Amino acid sequence: MRTLKQYSSMQFMSTVKTSGLAFSPDEERILFTSDASGIPNAHELCLSDRAQRQLTYSLTENVRSVSYFPNDARILILKDSGNRENSVLCVLEPNGKEIILTHGDDVQSFFHRWSLDGRSFYVSTNERDQRFYDLYKIDAYTFDRKLVYRANEKFYCCAISSDERHVLFMKSVRKSDSDIFLYD
């Protein structure tokens, strides 16, 4: 009979958590979030030599990795200012400079996907009104935004078709009652 290994609470609490995995465009690196430093920060792993590198060094804000840019060395990250379960979308440039794309203390932002050509990406954010999540298409070079959908109800973007013509939204009335809407 096999005996189960027991762990102390100290061992259990010191377990490193990882999430947010994404391949680089050349598939040579993996972007991920790790709390090895005690707070979530963005890291990457080089597949050729298995070297791990920390990309962000926040001591107070949770930083989550989102995606590599498809056509250059920049990275999208989400920062939770004050750890209040908010998420400000930022660009992390190769030199470590951060550019904030969604502004506000109580903002929540959600990255959805890149366009097929990699020149833009889709983000939902409640910057305009904390009750609703508007959907934007953001240019990857100028960061100019195009409003795709202005929400006046609690619709949440679930998916965008590969041809970028259709968007699926979900509206939850309660846990056991959700509706799906197709936006053309």
DSSP string of 22-89, one letter each residue: EE-TTSSEEEEEE-TTSS-EEEEEETTT--EEE----SSSEEEEEEE-TTSS-EEEEEEGGGSS-BEE
pLDDT of residue 2: 78
pLDDT of residue 59: 87
Q: How far is it, in rounded angstroms, from Cα 86 to Cα 80?
A: 5
Q: Percentages helix, strand, coil for the chain, rounded to the nearest 5?
A: 5, 45, 50
The tens place of each residue's pLDDT in the chain, 184 residues long, gives 678 888 787 777 777 888 888 999 999 999 999 998 888 999 999 999 999 999 999 988 899 999 999 999 999 999 997 667 789 999 999 999 999 999 887 899 999 999 999 999 999 999 999 999 999 999 999 999 999 999 988 888 889 999 989 998 888 877 788 888 888 8
pLDDT of residue 14: 72
pLDDT of residue 156: 87
pLDDT of residue 86: 86
In 3D space, the residue among 62, 41, 63 whose CA is nearest the CA of residue 53 turns out to be 41
- pTM metric for this prediction: 0.86
